[in-house]
């Protein structure tokens, strides 16, 4: 059964084998598909389920181990991964990059689920989508990440108000009507006066999202016979819940990340 | 924290938001990344591990349940899924289609693993890549599927010879040297004369791969009080191991699949 | 001056070197940029300037001579050119195909202008834009051409009414108000009752646009000494003003054009 | 004749309506198609025909007048045009940008031909192709332009030697054999010792190519009754033949061009 007479079909692949522009930062954003339903089906705590967020972070760490990703930023059911502008992963072929990172994230989500939600059996298989966007300069990349982190804050403040009201007995429609179109200070006041919540003291993980990066650490790798530890330089994925909009984060990490125009 | 000043970054998405040409059959091919290593790490039987192939098929059935996919064809660590030429899934946006199908496949692979390989703990998370290719006519689509099925045959016959020789004591290099460049009849003769294997009688699953499609079935949905069954028409994913190169398969299923130029 | 250290910039071309899907009909549509102003500046007759339309047709014939184009269809300041679905022109690289056909059309427009409008000097250089669209079957291709020819009819009927009214003393706003939203029979009646024009008897070139194709002809190439002609088979570009929506045109030309699914 | 039932074909345009990444410099390179034959057919002087090069420059000036192009650089039968990274021309739609710039260049080439080669009638219509490439930073853009200018030098030096040898009676094959693989100093020595030519004193237009940009000038726009001139600030296209690889050109023009990372 000669295969050569069918091989011409391979030629059709070229038309959809898109290449990402060199010398641009590539952001791969992975996003839960239908996660409102998924979080209901698995009884996620509202407005934030720390177990589910920690699971997301662990999946992000796996992506950083597996791929040459500089940085991940996540909130809710989404995670953005940044490839260095000089990254040559898969010859910058878009489908390969998008699909493998989304696959790695999903596979880890399912695999690590029992560690993070041990009492909640997975009802069905979650699905994530992925996309790639190119950002030609560090400035635009930082604006992208600022866009996501500002979104985290806006959503979290809204959701905190909403779920306080609903848990206090309001209907969803009433809760929505109370907060719709209100500004930040109104929501802070509402949380404080009605529910005794100081928004600024809520966990930073909820307010700032999670930034995942690789950091050199001095780690104990074994012990000598006399009990003294043997240390080595290692690279470790760490999760931070800090501001990434201002300059401080970038001044601290820019060199480490090799991020410069 | 107003988000509007960062939102301009969304405009960069347009440049990589590719749309698949309407009125073409879309094939999404999902392929294991580094599965030689993965199959070694999990002690897959050679040349074919039926448990792993059945797991692949179950993942394919999940994809057919979740997405408007007409047909799947799989072999080894890859699976091709065919979308109807008139499919409007995600507005035919390529990244969405590629990433969600690959994600769904991967998530199910991890989730269903213990059912198919209960004695083999998953050592690490498998990763699949995905790509989309458009085929403008049923003829070219059939040639694509023929290309994959011919490939299944060629690989399987080669691998069957190779592993017989290795299991019989040859080194990998010797085994390779024995069969490299030989034709089909030589390999059949080798299998028969040296190992008593009639290639044509090996399981069709190994020789023909797996075709997954949805078929209307008459299914028992419950039993009446008197014990008689209540039947209803249902759609069920079925796995076939048959020739899909010749006309017979298509004459039987073309109407069902809505496949016509 | 070694060039090698700069040559890496060539690698950026890949990201914008799009390939048109094989086995699809490719339509290149060339369209005048700012031709309302251009036609005013050159005193084009309204609603149709036969000299300018004939010039467009001559440019289309030049495109058919220069490129493996099956068929051109033009109206007003636009022309669509059809490449065979198996065309391999420039490896189906989109930018090459779009730019050279648009360039050829424009260059001929300027070069042939004095032949068609001898008394009207070119005031400034006209510019055309071009785009490529893939159509996966003859049916969709025919629907594309039907779309353009129906557009020709609609525009021509509207413009004929509009200019009759304006030439009869109406203001542009009055003329527009009179015909806006009216149907075909109203417009035919208006032309007939007020201006004595039987729309169906206006020149077919205006009502049906121009279809350009190559046709084998028996041509006299020289004369023998005794005065008898020597004939040879030649391919010649011809311009037709006929219906291309119905089946008749296609039954007559389909084989000639090699157009079949 | 309702057009609505055919309008669905417009939906196919989306798949080939590519958008160029925002915030990147866009280079449109226009290149003569088959210009070896074209230059022979029109008796261009070898190795450089100043009339033809001046015509190219005049076409480039027309492109700068018509489009928001910062800078053009040309040599031989090609010209590169740079759009600002923040350019929004045609919504950065690739086909529109590529086709209109190529069309404008071609149309002017034909229109202005008689001014530059008055004694040489145009034998047939020249065709140019065009492509777009995105460069994400000023550094890469400068490397692109350096690549083209280094190419100008290499080609010009080679061609100058080649045509001296051929004009001195060598066959094309002999001329080629003499210079193939030789370095710059060999070629300079050859020109000097055999033909008395000091390469460095050849016209800069041939050695450095042509850079076209817009410059504010103080221009006399009319004269008062008493004969004194009235001056106004105007923008004028100018052609330079200078080094654009080193920093000097950029230090002088960077601000004017609005080119900064």
Q: What is the pLDDT of residues C174-216, one digit of tens each?
A: 999 999 999 999 999 999 999 999 999 999 999 999 999 998 8
CATH classification at residue B55: 3.30.70.3000
Residue C210 sits at the chain D interface (C-beta within 8 Å): no
Q: Which residues in chain C are contacts of A14 at CB distance < 8 A?
A: 19
- Top residue of A19, A24, A133, A136 to mutate, by most chain D CBs within 10 Å, is A136
Q: Are A1 and B154 an interchain contact pair (Cβ–Cβ within 8 Å)?
A: yes
Q: Which chains touch C (3 or more CB pairs under 8 A)?
A: A, B, D
Whole-number Å distance between alpha carbons of A249 and A246: 7
Domain presence at residue C251: no
Of the listed ranges A235-239, B33-37, B105-109, D253-257, the least confidently predicted one is D253-257
Determine contact: D12 vs chain B, CB below 8 A. Answer: yes
Q: Are residues C163 and C239 in the same domain?
A: no
CA distances from C9 to A22, C3, D74, D143 (A): 9, 11, 17, 7
Sequence-ordered list of residues with C-beta below 8 angstroms from that of A227, at least 6 positions apart, any chain: none
CA distance A60 to chain B (A): 13
Cβ–Cβ below 8 Å for D131 and C95: yes
B165 part of a folded domain: no
Bridge-partner residues for B74, per DSSP? B79, B210
Q: Which residue of C has its CA nearest to A19?
A: C15
Paired with C238 in beta bridges are C213
- Looking at chain A, which runs of residues are DSSP E strands? 25-32, 69-75, 78-83, 128-135, 210-223, 229-240
Whether residues C197 and C229 share a domain: the answer is: no
Q: Quote the domain boundaries for residue C221.
A: 210-246
* Beta-carbon separation of B127 and A100 below 8 A: yes
B23/D15 Cβ within 8 A? no
ipTM, 2 dp: 0.94
For residue A233, name the pLDDT band (cuts at 50, 70, 90).
Answer: confident
The set of chains that have 3 or more CB pairs under 8 A with A is B, C, D
Please indicate, yes or no, if residue C109 is contained in any of the structural domains: yes
Question: Does the distance separating the beta carbons of C104 and D2 come in below 8 Å?
Answer: no
Number of domains chain B contains:
1
B230: contact with C, CB 8 A cutoff: no
| Cβ pairs bridging C and D (under 8 Å) | 176
In sequence order, the 6+-apart residues with CB closer than 8 A to the CB of D112 are: D55, D58, D59, D62
Q: Is residue A177 part of a domain?
A: yes
Does the beta-carbon distance from B2 to A150 stay under 8 Å?
Answer: yes
DSSP state of C224: -
For an interface test with C, the pick among D107, D112, D121, D187 (most C C-beta atoms closer than 10 Å) comes out as: D107
The distance of B84 to chain D (nearest Cα, Å) reads 16
| pLDDT, position D204 | 97
Residues C168 and C221 in one domain: no
What does the mean pLDDT of chain C come to?
95
A-D interface: how many C-beta pairs under 8 angstroms?
29
> Both C184 and C64 in a single domain?
yes
Q: How confident is the model at residue A260, as a pLDDT?
A: 65
Share in percent of chain A as helix, strand, coil (round to 5): 50, 20, 30
Helices C184-195 and C172-179: angle between axes, nearest 10 degrees? 130
Terminal C-alpha separation, chain D: 54
Q: Do B136 and C137 touch (CB under 8 A)?
A: yes
Q: How far is CA C117 from the centre of its chain?
A: 18
Decide if C21 and B134 are in contact by the 8 Å CB cutoff. yes
Q: Is the Cβ of A22 closer than 8 Å to some Cβ of chain C?
A: yes
Nearest Cα neighbor of A14 from D28, B129, B97, B131 is: B131
pLDDT per residue of chain D (261 residues) written in tens, 0 to 9: 567 899 999 999 999 999 999 999 999 999 999 999 999 999 999 999 999 999 999 999 999 999 999 999 999 999 999 999 999 999 999 999 999 999 999 999 999 999 999 999 999 999 999 999 999 999 999 999 999 999 999 999 999 999 999 999 999 999 999 999 999 999 999 999 999 999 999 999 999 999 999 988 888 889 999 999 999 988 899 999 999 999 999 999 877 777 765
Q: What is the pLDDT of residues D173-214, one digit of tens each?
A: 999 999 999 999 999 999 999 999 999 999 999 999 999 999
Beta strands in chain D (DSSP E): 25-32, 69-75, 78-83, 128-135, 210-223, 229-240
Distance from A242 to chain B by nearest Cα, in Å? 15
Is the CB of B201 inside 8 Å of chain D's CB atoms?
no
Q: D87 to chain A: which residues are within 8 Å by CB?
A: none
Give the closest residue to D242 by CA, choosing from D215, D216, D214, D203: D203
Nearest beta carbon to residue B130 from set A3, A99, A132:
A99
Kindly list the residues from chain C whose CB atom is less than 8 angstroms away from the CB atom of residue A12.
21-23
B95, A2: Cβ pair inside 8 Å?
Answer: no
| D67: in domain | yes
3-state helix, strand, coil in chain C (%, to 5): 50, 20, 30
Residue B9 and residue A94: Cβ atoms within 8 Å? no
Co-location of C131 and C216 in the same domain: no
Cα–Cα dist C63/C73, whole Å:
12
Residue C129 confidence (pLDDT) above 90: yes
Nearest to D41 by CA among C68, D49, A202: D49
**Chain B contact for D136 (CB, 8 A cutoff):** no
Rounded to the nearest integer, the mean pLDDT of chain B is 95
Contact of B137 with chain C, judged by CB distance below 8 Å, is answered with yes
What is the arithmetic mean of pLDDT over C121-132?
A: 98
Q: Are C74 and C186 in the same domain? A: yes
CB contact under 8 A, C85 and B136: yes
The 3-state DSSP class for residue D243 equals coil
pLDDT tens-digit series, residues A130-172: 999 999 999 999 999 999 999 999 999 999 999 999 999 999 9
Residue A236 domain flag: no
Give the model's pLDDT for residue B10.
96
Q: Which of D8, D105, D140 sits opposite C9 (nearest CB)?
A: D140
Give residues with Cβ within 8 angstroms of A207, minimum separation 6.
A152, A153, A156, A199, A200, A241
pLDDT grade, residue B108 (50/70/90)? very high
- C89 vs D: CB within 8 A: no
Nearest CA in chain C to A93: C15
CA–CA separation, D105 vs C198, rounded Å? 44
Q: Do C85 and B261 touch (CB under 8 A)?
A: no
Q: Chains meeting B at 3+ CB pairs closer than 8 A?
A: A, C, D
Among D136, D139, D142, D144, the strongest candidate for a mutation testing the A interface, having the largest count of A CBs within 10 A, is: D136
Report in angstroms the alpha-carbon separations of A173 from A170, A180, A191: 8, 10, 18
Alpha-carbon gap, residue D248 to D246, rounded angstroms: 6
Q: In what order do the strands lie in the sheet with B128-135?
A: B128-135, B25-32, B78-83, B69-75, B210-223, B229-240
Helix (H) or strand (E) holding C225: none
Q: Which residues in C lie closer than 8 A to residue D29 (C-beta atoms)?
A: none
Contact across the interface for C136 and B137, Cβ inside 8 Å: yes
Distance from CA of B94 to the nearest CA of C (A): 14
DSSP B197: -
D135 part of contact set with chain C, CB < 8 Å: yes
Question: Does A20 or B215 have the greater pLDDT score?
Answer: A20
Instruction: Give percent of chain C above pLDDT 70.
Output: 98
Which pLDDT score is estimated for C2? 60
Q: What is the pLDDT of residue A117?
A: 98
Answer whether D136 sits within 8 Å of A137, measured CB to CB: yes
Domain-embedded: residue C195: yes
Inside any domain, residue B23: yes
CA distance D182 to D202: 20
What's residue C4's pLDDT? 83
Interface residue B238 vs chain C (CB under 8 A)? no
CA B6, distance to chain mean position in Å, is 42
């Amino acid at each position: 059964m000669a295969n050569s007479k069918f091989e011409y079909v391979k030629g059709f692949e070229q038309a959809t084998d898109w290449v990402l522009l060199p010398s641009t930062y590539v952001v791969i954003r992975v996003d839960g598909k239908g996660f409102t339903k998924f979080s209901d089906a698995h009884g996620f705590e509202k407005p934030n389920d720390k177990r589910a967020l920690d699971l997301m972070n662990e999946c992000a760490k796996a992506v950083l181990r597996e791929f040459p990703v500089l940085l991940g930023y996540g909130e809710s059911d989404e995670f953005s991964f940044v490839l260095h502008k000089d990254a040559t992963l898969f010859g910058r072929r878009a489908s390969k990059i998008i699909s493998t990172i989304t696959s790695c994230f999903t596979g880890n989500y399912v695999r690590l689920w029992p560690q993070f939600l041990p009492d909640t059996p997975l009802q069905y298989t979650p699905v994530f989508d992925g996309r790639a966007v190119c950002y030609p300069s560090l400035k635009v990349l930082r604006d992208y990440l600022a866009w996501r982190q500002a979104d985290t804050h806006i959503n979290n403040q809204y959701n905190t108000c909403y779920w306080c009201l609903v848990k206090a007995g309001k209907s969803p429609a009433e809760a929505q009507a109370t907060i719709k179109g209100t500004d930040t200070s109104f929501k802070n006041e509402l949380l404080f006066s009605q529910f005794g919540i100081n928004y600024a003291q809520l966990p930073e993980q909820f307010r700032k999202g999670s930034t995942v990066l690789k950091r050199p650490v001095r780690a104990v790798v074994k012990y000598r016979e006399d009990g003294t530890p043997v240390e080595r330089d290692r690279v470790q994925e760490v999760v931070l819940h800090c501001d990434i909009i201002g300059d401080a984060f970038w001044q601290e990490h820019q060199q480490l990340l090799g991020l410069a125009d």
